[in-house]
Amino acid sequence: MIFEVVSDMRYFFIVLLVTIIAFGDSFLKIANANPDQEKRFTSGFIDSIIYTYKMILGDFDTDEFGDVAPALMMILFLLCTVFNMIVMLNLLIAIISESFARVTGMSDQAVYQEMASMISENSYLVPDLRMKTYCAQHKYILLVNNLETMEDSVNEQEMLKNLENRFINEISIIKEDLVSLKSAIEKIIRVTQTMNSKFGQIKLMMLEQPVKEVKVKISKMPLTLTTLHQLKEKYKNGGYNDGVVCKGNQFVGCKNSDKIGNDHNEVIHHCPQCNFELCQKCFELIENIHEHPLEKFTYGHLLETQNDSYGGGWQCDCRYFQGCVLDGKAIKDPYEIVYHDSKNQFNLCVSCANSYKV
């Protein structure tokens, strides 16, 4: 019984040791902070652990705590006494009581086991003739079953059966929920398709109004408002089966690093009508973007003719191009509005058309 109790107390001893070390280390730090050697109530790590253990036993004196952090020292003292003297003491009593109850419950089996062991060890003292008189030999078959094992197996079988029934019920409930969820999703899909169809019809009705064209900074030709559905109908053998990609993604900043130009010999492609200007690098890549014709000048010539506008240098207008919000993704909604140039097969999304509208 003593071995069983001590074995059950091993985790208690570990927790108690950790708390004693923790509080002892805290007391040691506070004690070493006292400048006066006489007011240091602990002198080392081992001494602090012994001091904490004596405090658990009730051997303590609060007058020896020193002058450093008395409030913190009192809080640690209260925590140590409450946790170790009250909580841990009651926990120790509970562990011993539980171990005693378990050992006592098995005492009858232990007594019978010892008696059977003693009989087995001393069975050689009974003569064979005397032993044969107890029961006829080779006449009966004696079957011995462990009642505890049988009860446990029955309980385990019942538990397994209950778990099986519970799992079956849970699975049936989940299947019912999946069926109802699937029907709800199908209903939502049907409603969504109906709404998309109605929205598409509304968009088509709007598009049947007089043709709407817009002019943008990045296209010479005006763009016509249309939809992907109409483009597919118009270009049945064209490349719109996979959707429309907005060309605005090609226009992202100046190719010359947005620097301010001051070189008199630098070539500038200038629009006399709206003062739109491109550097040579941007013009070579996107020369057909502007609605007006661009004339080729040098910065020195523009500085002589328009000194007020070019006295501080110049910058390419491509620096205002921010690209497309779709980032190259295709528009696949058949009723999504796009702006289209049939001559150059140039397309813009609504966002880019509004951003670059003239």
pLDDT value at residue 52: 82
CA distances from 148 to 143, 151, 167, 272, 288 (A): 15, 5, 28, 105, 94
Tokens of 1: 């019984």
State both tokens at 221: 């030709």
Contacts of 282 (CB under 8 A, 6+ apart): 254, 255, 256, 316, 318
What residues contact 58, with CB distance under 8 A and at least 6 apart? 85
Encoded amino acid at 14, one letter: I
Residue 311 has pLDDT above 60, yes or no: yes
Give CA–CA dist 276/256, Å, rounded: 16
Rounded Cα distance, 30 and 52, in Å: 13
Tokens of 308: 């007020």
Average pLDDT over residues 49-60: 80
* Cβ(247)–Cβ(345) below 8 Å: no
Is the pLDDT score of 194 beyond 60?
yes
Question: What's the mean pLDDT when you consider all of the chain?
Answer: 78
Distance CA 255, CA 279 (A): 8
The pLDDT, as a whole number, for residue 298 is 84
341 by DSSP, 3-state: which? strand
pLDDT number for residue 160? 79
pLDDT tens digits, 3-45: 777 888 888 888 888 888 888 888 888 877 777 766 677 777 8
The pLDDT tens digits for 6-15 are 888 888 888 8
Asked whether the beta carbons of 340 and 349 are under 8 A apart, the reply is no
Cβ–Cβ < 8 Å for 253, 316: no
84-93 — which CB contacts under 8 Å span 24+ positions?
84/16, 84/19, 84/20, 84/23, 84/52, 84/55, 84/56, 85/56, 85/58, 88/12, 88/15, 88/16, 88/19, 91/12, 92/9, 92/12
d(Cα 41, Cα 34) in Å, to the nearest integer? 9
Q: Which of the two residues, 85 and 199, has the higher pLDDT score?
A: 85
Distance CA 192, CA 190 (A): 5
283-310 confidence digits (pLDDT tens):
777 656 676 778 888 878 777 777 667 7
Where residue 80 falls (left for φ over 0; alpha for ψ -120 to 50; beta otherwise) is: alpha
This prediction has a pTM of 0.39
Separation CA 214–CA 341 (nearest Å): 10
CA distances from 332 to 67, 193, 327, 335, 351 (A): 79, 15, 14, 9, 16
- Domain locations in the chain? 2-111, 213-355
Q: What is the pLDDT of residues 120-137, one digit of tens each?
A: 888 888 887 777 777 666
